[in-house]
Amino acid sequence: MHYGIDIAMPKGAPVGATMGGKVVYAGFGQKGSGYGGYGNVVVVKDSAGRLHQYSHLDSIGVKVGQTVGNGAVIGKAGSTGRSTGPHLDYIVKNSKGNYLNPTSFITGKNTLKTSQGIQRAEGTKAPTAYANNWKTKEAPKSSSFKSYLGHLNTAVSSGLVPRQWAIPLTELVGRESSWNPSAKNPKSTARGYGQFLNQTVSQYAKKTGLNYNNPVHQLAMMAQYVKDRYGSPEKALQFWDKNKWY
């Protein structure tokens, strides 16, 4: 039984991570390692605990413990291990070790392309997304919103931000920074999508291993902060309604 998908690729072609996460294995699959016969292997663990395995690589470009983003090159395609020609063997397992259909992670069918696309995103609740008192209704007029959507899509598809958080997190970002990753508060050190103070930037950079100068990472770090402090962006918004900050 073959649980992955074989993708024909020429030797040396760059292999990009389908989802961001932490590299938990990077090396030649020795017998007894669980990766015997797969040749050069890289395994990335995403935020949901899923393992993304890239096998038969000609070369490896990452190290164990390294954090990689969606699309980051983790190696080059090849034919190492038990293989009859250059290709990529891509396998995905969930946190319980069960095999998942790998094609659902490479089709891009859930891309969030527009503000309406966020409404239609799987797991979100569109009817209340653009209530009259929500700043998100102003999104189409914002010069920075289009680029924000690109960053959000990358963060969601990388597993750094839960898809069901797309709408409320977008509202929270709008209230804090009008979807501008370069926004700065002239009265404090608050900056970025989430208006993190310097001390918060340092704290969550250490906790997540991410770089706040990266807009996608800003969203990921903001999501982690919201999870730690409030449990969900909806509760963070409720707090914001009363205090005008979160």
Residues 182, 206, 161: CA angle, nearest 5 degrees: 60
| Nearest CA among 179, 184, 180, 178 for reference residue 201 | 184
Return the residue matching tokens 């209230």. 175
What are the pLDDT digits (tens) for 27-50? 999 888 889 999 999 999 988 899
How far is CA 129 from its chain centroid? 22
pLDDT score at 131:
54
pLDDT score at 106:
74
pLDDT score at 150:
85
pLDDT score at 181:
97
Long-range contact pairs involving 92-100 (C-beta distance under 8 Å, separation at least 24): 92/4, 92/50, 92/51, 92/52, 92/53, 93/50, 93/51, 93/53, 94/48, 94/49, 94/50, 95/48, 95/49, 95/50, 99/3, 100/50
Detail the DSSP E strand segments found in the chain.
5-8, 14-16, 21-28, 40-45, 51-60, 67-68, 73-77, 87-93, 99-100
pLDDT score at 225:
97
Spans in the chain with pLDDT lower than 70: 1, 107-132, 158
| Nearest CA among 122, 125, 178 for reference residue 148 | 178
Antiparallel, parallel or unpaired: β 14-16 and 21-28: unpaired
Q: Residue 171: count other Cβ atoms within 10 Å of its Cβ.
A: 23
| Nearest CA among 227, 234, 238 for reference residue 170 | 234
Q: Is 151 a catalytic residue?
A: no
What are the pLDDT digits (tens) for 199-213? 999 999 999 888 999
Residue 51 has which token pair?
A: 């393992």
Q: Which member of 56, 87, 151, 217 is catalytic? A: 87
* DSSP summary character for residue 27: E
pTM of the model: 0.54
Return the residue matching tokens 């096998």. 55
pLDDT score at 32:
87
